[in-house]
Chains A and B, each alone.
Chain A
Amino acid sequence: MSASVEASLFEKRQKVYPREVHGRFALLRVSAVLGLLGLYYALPWVAWSGRQAVLLDLPARKFYLFGLTLWPQDFPLLTLLLISAALSLFFFTALAGRLWCGYACPQTVWTEVFLWIERHLEGSRTRQMRLDQGPLNVRKFRIKATKHTVWLLFSLWTGFTFVAYFTPARELAAKTLALQLGPWESFWLLFYSFATYGNAGWMREQVCKYMCPYARFQSAMFDADTLVISYDKKRGEPRGARRPEVNPAQQGLGDCINCTLCVQVCPTGIDIRDGLQYECIGCSACIDVCNDVMDKMNYAKGLIRYTTPNALEGKATRVLRPRIIIYGTILLGLLAILLFALANRTPLALDVIRDRNQLYRETREGLIENVYTLKVMNMDDKTRSYILDVTGIDGITVHTDQDPIRATGGEVLSVPVRVRAAEFNLTARSSAIEFILTTADEELSVTETARFLGPTP
Chain B
Amino acid sequence: MTNNRKTPAPLQVAMVLWLSFLLAIAPTGIVFSLFDPNAVSACLTVPEVSPLAAYSIGFFAFWLLCAGTGLLCVYFLSGGE
Contact = CB atoms under 8 A, between A and B. Distances in A.
B1 to A, nearest CB: 9
A291 B32 CA distance: 52
Interface in B1-55: 2-3, 6-8, 11, 14-15, 18-19, 22, 29-30, 32-34, 36, 50-53, 55
B2 A75 contact: no
B30 to A, nearest CB: 7
Q: Which of B8, B32, B52 gathers most chain A CB within 10 Å?
A: B52
A424 interface: no
B69 interface: no
Q: Which of A1, A59, A207 gathers most chain B CB within 10 Å?
A: A59
Nearest to A76: B33
29 contacts: A1-B2, A3-B3, A6-B2, A6-B6, A7-B6, A10-B11, A58-B51, A58-B52, A59-B50, A59-B51, A61-B36, A61-B51, A72-B34, A72-B36, A75-B30, A75-B33, A78-B29, A78-B33, A182-B50, A182-B52, A183-B53, A184-B52, A184-B56, A187-B56, A188-B56, A210-B11, A211-B18, A213-B19, A213-B22
Contacts of A213: 19, 22
A292 interface: no
Interface in A186-245: 187-188, 207, 210-211, 213
Interface of A: 1, 3, 6-7, 9-10, 58-59, 61, 72, 75, 78, 166, 182-185, 187-188, 207, 210-211, 213
Contacts of A210: 11, 14-15
Contacts of B56: 184, 187-188
Given A58-B55, A59-B52, A75-B34, 11 more contacts: A6-B6, A10-B7, A59-B51, A72-B36, A166-B52, A183-B53, A187-B56, A207-B18, A210-B15, A211-B19, A213-B22
Nearest to B19: A213
B25 to A, nearest CB: 10
Nearest to B35: A72
Contacts of A187: 56
Interface of B: 2-3, 6-8, 11, 14-15, 18-19, 22, 29-30, 32-34, 36, 50-53, 55-56
A75 B22 CA distance: 18
A379 to B, nearest CB: 14
Contacts of B8: 10
Q: Which A-B residue pairs are the 6 nearest by beta carbons?
A: A75-B33, A59-B51, A72-B33, A184-B52, A211-B18, A6-B6
Contacts of B2: 1, 6
A211 B15 contact: yes
Contacts of B7: 10
Contacts of A59: 50-52
A3 B2 CA distance: 9
B29 A75 contact: yes
Contacts of B55: 58
B14 A3 contact: no
Contacts of B50: 59, 182, 184
A207 B18 CA distance: 9
Contacts of B11: 10, 210
Contacts of B34: 72, 75
A149 B29 CA distance: 35
Contacts of B6: 3, 6-7, 9-10
A188 B60 CA distance: 12
A53 to B, nearest CB: 21
Nearest to B53: A184
A188 B53 CA distance: 11
Contacts of A10: 6-8, 11
A1 B19 CA distance: 23
Contacts of A185: 52
Contacts of B22: 213
Q: Which of A3, A10, A72, A184 gathers most chain B CB within 10 Å?
A: A184
A187 B51 CA distance: 15
A110 to B, nearest CB: 15
B28 to A, nearest CB: 11
